[in-house]
Structure 1
């Protein structure tokens, strides 16, 4: 029989061409947590414990899939985000820690103010992680979320049910807003988006498990139009954001100055460019006036 430590070592050895040692260990822990129901601290404390044959049989095909580069979240079908569990699949991006920082920024700004009812729009919602996390912590907020992919929206709806929140989901292409569009006439206190912003130049540096498995429509823009989605969302905000309303973006670190210029040129004020925990320009906030 194999112990917990044996399985972790097996993951390190088999995934060394794809991941660093620490990444492989983290993946092994995630799989073991999922398979055993044990918390990470307990797995570490009892690493000499033997695992049952049933668990080992389930772990083997997971490791084989991981060796192809497939992200562990897609294999397990779930990902953690801001303390909540989300269903994920190849129709949705895997929620990332830097996006948690964006959610935290919004919550920090809203919680410090009077708890009056507000309306929030999340553009390009994917799994629904931003909208659902905001709704979970802002009970007075009315959340709407839009995505071009019906498959992604189906997942987001399931995630809203899973996390017991009410979010209004809308299918639509933010690049092709029409006069009769469902958002027409809506007025929001907050618009937030983590749109596609990875350029062709950035793509060269990306890990194969992102390039080969995550949805390209949610990731990439061309080198000649890196701000394509931001410009479209700013146009929406000019029509659908209340005076004094806040616009939040997750951004490509290479285009912080360009984002400030875009918002300034469209008459937004109180523009704040914010770094993430790795000291990269990753978020921006602006107020409509």
Structure 2
């Protein structure tokens, strides 16, 4: 349909244009979701309203906004970046090109931590938690929201990512202490200069979803991820795929309390290697867990 010259368009027609333009690229179900997310976000018109009233009409100004979203989607820009927000663990998070888009697998990691530390437990209320590579802050903020008496710290090397995370903490009304530091410099004095004044002490939980996609795995990634999400938060060199895990495990050995726990999201192809790494560090009760797609995705270990 040629939309030029139209002053107003029905929701039914706009929806059809979305499908004709994008179905081959994304699939019908995802395109359906894109359309309704767009109308609800920009115009507060929920899906149920448009389903019940397919003759609902959008003004010319409104259709211009919708067609700009369509154009961005044609360029394979993620819908979360277009709208500037997403949902994670039942909470709203602002996102932009400086942070990864939170994923369902990471929700599973948060759920695993919470299942091990119920907020009803007095001990859980006194937890000290460190999230390394926090990005949007989705892990740290979700944990703080569900463990309101825990003290939560969140670290990232990116100033821009931390700004997003700080805004998300305010949005979700939780208190997080944010730290700008490079975990790969953990053994160097520069790392401790960044964190020394905070007197963090020891932690009960250290959690991280660090960069873990090897360069050789780029060919498996969709353009909407590869061309838009920050490579700093995604990729590692082929010859050092566990470089972040090694550094974080070293910190965990030094900075976890006795019986403290280390949780990771991991590369699905490196589960066995992760188990070996954590056991070599002297951590016990190493447990590998699959995600909702049946892939090795999470690992937990405990300090003696």
Deviation at 1:17, TM superposition (A): 4.5
CA displacement 1:157-192 (0-9 Å, x = unmatched)? 011111111000000111012343444562110000
1:200-225 Cα shifts (integer Å, max 9, x gaps):
22210100011111100100011111
Which consecutive residues of structure 2, in runs of 5 or more, have no partner in the other structure?
1-7
Moved over 6 A (4+): none
C-alpha distance in 1, partners of 2:29/2:184?
40
Q: What is aligned with 2:177?
A: 168
Equivalent residue number for residue 115 of structure 2: 108
Q: Hey, what's the Cα distance between the residues in 2 that align with 1:153 and 1:112?
A: 26
- Normalising by structure 2, we get a TM-score of 0.90
The structure with the greater share of residues assigned to helix is 2
CA distance in structure 1 between the partners assigned to 2:293 and 2:100 by the alignment:
21
SS in structure 2 of the partner of residue 16 of structure 1: helix
Q: Residues 51-66 of structure 1: matches in 2 within 5 Å?
A: 51-66=58-73
For the Cα contact (< 8 Å) 2:180–2:194, is it kept in 1?
no
Query: RMSD of the alignment, in Å?
Result: 1.6
Match of 1:148 in 2: 157
Larger Rg: 2
> Number of aligned pairs?
289
Pair 1:122-2:131 in alignment: yes
CA distance in 2, matches of 1:131, 1:208: 28
Task: Measure, in 2, the Cα distance between the counterparts of 1:240 and 1:182.
Answer: 16
Structure 1 unmatched runs, 5+: none
Alpha-carbon distance in 2 for matches of 1:43, 1:107: 37
User: CA-to-partner distance for each residue in 1:235-283, whole Å, 9 max, x for gaps?
Assistant: 1111111110010001111111111111111111111111111111111
Do 1:115 and 1:140's aligned partners in 2 also have CA atoms closer than 8 Å?
A: no
Identify the residue that residue 299 of structure 2 maps to in structure 1: 284
Equivalent in the alignment of 1:135? 144
Tell me: CA distance 1:115–1:11, structure 2 relative to 1, closer, same or farther (3 Å).
farther
Match of 2:212 in 1: 197
CA distance in structure 2 between the partners assigned to 1:69 and 1:121 by the alignment: 34
In the other structure, the counterpart of 2:4 is none
Q: Closer, same or farther in 2 for the Cα pair 1:183/1:63, shift >3 Å?
A: same
Cα displacement (A) at 1:5: 2.7
Partner of 2:282: 267
Say whether the 8 Å CA contact 1:147–1:170 is kept in structure 2.
yes
Aligned to 2:53: 46
